[in-house]
Structure 1
Amino acid sequence: MKEKRIAKTPFALAFSVGAVLFSAHAGGGFATGNQANTYYVGLGWAGIVSAVIAMLLLTLTMRQAMVMYNSRGMTSYKQLFETLYHPFDKIEWLFEIFFYIMVLMAVAAAISGAASALQGYFGMNYYLGIVVVGMVVLMLTIFGAGIVRAASTYMGLAILVTAITIYTVGIFKSDSSITAILQQDFTTRGFGGMPQAIINAFTYAGFQCVTLPTMIACGTPLENRKGCGKAMWISFVMNTVALVLSIFMLLSWEGVYTAVEGGTTIPTLTACNAMGISWLTTVYGICLLLCLISTGVTTIYGFVARFEKLPMFRGISSAPIRSAIVSAFIIVVSMSISLVGLSNIIKYGYGYCGYLGIAVVVIPFLTVGVYKNRAYIRAHGEAFPQRQEEEKPSAAKSVPNTRPAAQCD
């Protein structure tokens, strides 16, 4: 009876955990449309298949990670990867390298995206925009991170609702029928684009795995393997629907935003401008700018919280000064990266990190991870060990505190 009762994971709990990954994926990077344009739109109909495969790979990977983490009562992602790679525990450093490089890319993308938005709305020089956004992020990181972090979930929700509204309206307002576009593309290309579609699916899932530390922290209330699976299947549906909608809309307006100079940087904004719905464009721009700045602040705050405790900073008694030093260093590095432009960061920075993510996260969890989880559960049973109440945060409360990783895409 006890096993049967534990096996029933409430839908609300599974939904809240699945929504964390959805929120992570639907952050500022997704809402710009740059990721979808870079990895899927150019593939035509095969891009739709690629997007579905990417979301399947991502959610299956997260499921195995949560099962391994919860079944053994772990407390850090370091323990998780040491268990995954055992007996080659030191390979865990590969994930550390992937994680920190990917987060730097995410901060750079946030700064670059915000600067591009300022350029698009106010005509501000792009490089001046980088400096302005960098200074705003620095000030908020030192003095206002808590407020921005707490509001980040609501800003993410606002940009999500706005973006999906644009996707839906854009599909119907386009002069080109999405059905006709896909049919014509299939007739012209056939299955020739599928090899690249598979590669892009793995790459996309690979760099999205930067959210893994967030997911295992938010997934601790799930008490068994079925619960983890339920949460991730819900997340798969949510993520796939949103991503495919964005691809449909961008395919419908591809000829418009590619014809505008700089239109592919934030293609969703360019398409929105072409629709002629001024209020929607304004709301989208405000939400996008706030979400990108929030991404930068919360992501850097996660770095600060970890590195300001290093021995080299023990001589500095003032917490704001320690935060300022660490934040300034990270922002300068990120601003330097952002000089190459949002599209290059997404294509090359995210792309190469995606390759590393495939090697150190996706493939290991979907092969070795599956084997180890099944063996462990056969030996110890389906029910996961109960954590102490203070170590087991609710998924809802975990979202703001883990947002640094969640908004990294």
Structure 2
Amino acid sequence: MLKANRWVQGLGIYLVPGLVFQSVIVGGGYGTGREIAEFFLVHGAVSGLAGMLVSCVVWGLVLAVAFEFARLTKSYNYKSFFQALLGRFWWLFEVIYLLIALLVLAVLGSAAGEIISQLLGVPPLYGVLALMAFVGILTFYGSRIIERFFVCWSALLYLTYIVLLGSTFTEFGDEIAGHFANGEWVGSWGIDGVRYAAYNLNALAAVLFVVPRFKRPRQALGAGAIAGVVAIIPGILVFLTLLAGYPDTQVAAVPVVDVLAALNIVWLLVIFQVMLFGTFIETGTGVIHAVNERIANTFRMQQRVFPASYRAGIALGFVFIAAFLANKIGIIGLISSGYGLLSYAYIAVVIVPLLTVGVAIVVKQQPRPVLPSDD
């Protein structure tokens, strides 16, 4: 019994942070397959897969340093974290985080509307409203419920992707293998791997609430390294699946749905779209929960209570604005233009400081003092 309890406790420490991180990035990135097509499929089979492994390494390295840095500085929301890392320039992260939060939510709103419309034959607006409702409910109840939902839905996600990949290989295995047989190395796959990893580090802000579980450096460092692997596996499964319809899937708005349509397995199409909608809820909840935790910390510093109704209200406001953006620009335009630009901002504000200042503090195990803040 004691060994079993230690095993469960170990999973909570080393595996759950990766599942939470993966849950936040999965909706816009892996769920639709659009981001995978934009950053990796464009380079072909071999180069695209190599680019994904670059993303895995970057995530593992940065998250390991970030978790230990957060543990040392007791930074459990993004404001206190970047105050400790960037000093008076912490607000730079908040600006780009809020921009990419709106961008991610706009992508999710666009995809959610399309999926619900295809699944139920109703106007896309119903999908956006359903997304708003579920995100509002989860953010209302806070961290504990959010973590449980993320872990449970991640298990369903892995199972569904494995079934999808198995079905795809059964039907299109020769086509997929043929793309690898060409063995071509195409384009700047390494740079795109870093860019993809960089802007998805917006999810770091959403997983800081798990840091209090780390009691020792090896726990924080180990969980961060494992998180990189846990997060990339669903992406690799989607990448291999999209190769079945390559190069057509490279330009599709929701490439995964195109592959499912080609398979013509109705039950799998329905299950996948339900699972996919759940990943949108995960990602939307994650990016907004980070904002709520930042505001809640300000309330605590002012010795005030942050009402749960404010959490839900902020979530609904974000999704509403994002839905407007999605309607005006569209999912392909949002990903190709917005994500590419913001990835460079994340490299400058997150990756470079963490791998310089952050590493120095982690090695010395001596966090520098944080400047006082009024808000």
TM-score by length of 1: 0.74
Partner of 1:30: 30
Q: Does 1:241 align with 2:233?
A: yes
The residue aligned with 2:263 is: 275
Partner Cα distance (1:277, 1:203) in 2: 35
2:204 aligned with 1:206, yes or no?
no
Deviations 1:198-247 (A, max 9, x none): 22112111111111123332132223332223223322333333322221
Contact 1:181 1:252 in 2 (8 A): no
Count of aligned positions: 348
Q: Does 1:361 align with 2:321?
A: no
Q: 1-side partners of 2:289 and 2:218: how far apart?
A: 34
Unaligned runs of 5+ in 1: 1-8, 312-318, 381-409
**Residue number among 329, 338, 342 corresponding to 2:326 in the alignment:** 338
CA separation of 1:174 and 1:20: change in aligned 2, threshold 3 A: same
2:130 matched residue in structure 1 = 136
The percent identity for this pair of structures is 19
Structure 2 counterparts to residues 46-125 of structure 1, below 5 A: 46-85=47-86, 89-125=87-123
Instruction: Report the equivalent of 1:225.
Output: 217
Aligned equivalent of 2:360? 371
- Per the TM alignment, residue 322 of structure 1 is displaced from its structure 2 partner at its CA by 6.0
Q: Distance in 1 between matches of 2:22 and 2:84?
A: 27
Residue in 2 aligned with 1:399? none
The alpha-carbon deviation at position 325 of structure 1 amounts to 6.3
Partners of 2:61 and 2:174 in 1: CA distance = 35
| CA contact 1:308–1:326 (8 Å) conserved in 2 | no
Alpha-carbon separation, structure 2, partners of 1:335 and 1:107: 7
Looking at structure 2, the residues matched to 143 and 15 of structure 1 have their Cα atoms a distance apart, in angstroms, of 25
Query: Which 10-residue stretch deviates more, 161-170 or 138-147?
Result: 138-147
- After superposition, what is the alpha-carbon deviation per residue over 1:52-110, rounded to whole angstroms, capped at 9, x for unaligned? 1111111211111111121233444323222323xxx2221111112111111121111
* 1:114–1:293 contact (8 Å) kept in structure 2: no
Change beyond 3 A, Cα 1:203–1:142: closer
When residues 302 and 372 of structure 1 are mapped into structure 2, their CA distance, relative to the original with a 3 A threshold, is closer
Counterpart Cα distance in 1 of 2:202 and 2:61: 15
Instruction: Identify which of 163, 169, 172 aligns with 2:170.
Output: 172
Whole-Å Cα distance in 1 between the matches of residues 310 and 70 of structure 2?
32
**Aligned AA for 2:260?**
C
Match of 2:276 in 1: 288
C-alpha change, 1:321 and 1:83, in structure 2 (3 Å) is closer
| Deviation (angstroms), 1:143 | 6.1
Rate the CA distance shift 1:320–1:360 in 2: closer, same or farther, 3 A.
Answer: closer
Q: 1:164–1:246: 8 Å Cα contact kept in structure 2?
A: no
Matched AA of 1:284: F
CA-CA distance at 1:137 after TM superposition: 4.1
Alignment CA distance shift 1:77-1:165 (3 Å): same
Structure number with bigger Rg: 1
When the two chains are superposed, the root-mean-square deviation of aligned CA atoms in Å is 3.3
Residue identity in the other structure for 1:108 = A
Query: Which whole-Å CA distance do the structure 2 matches of 1:99 and 1:143 have between them?
Result: 22
Report the alpha carbon displacement of residue 135 of structure 1 after superposing the two structures with TM: 3.2
Q: For residue 13 of structure 1, what is the amino acid of its counterpart?
A: I
* Worse-matched range after superposition: 325-334 or 40-49: 325-334
Task: Answer whether contact 2:128 2:323 (CA < 8 A) is retained.
Answer: yes
- The TM-score with structure 2 as length reference comes to 0.80
Q: Distance in 2 between matches of 1:305 and 1:11?
A: 24
Kindly indicate whether the alpha-carbon contact (under 8 Å) linking 2:24 and 2:203 is maintained by their aligned counterparts in 1.
Answer: yes
For the 8 Å contact 1:70–1:222, the answer to whether it is kept is yes
Aligned to 1:43: 43
The answer on whether the counterparts of 1:142 and 1:320 sit within 8 Å (CA) in structure 2 is no
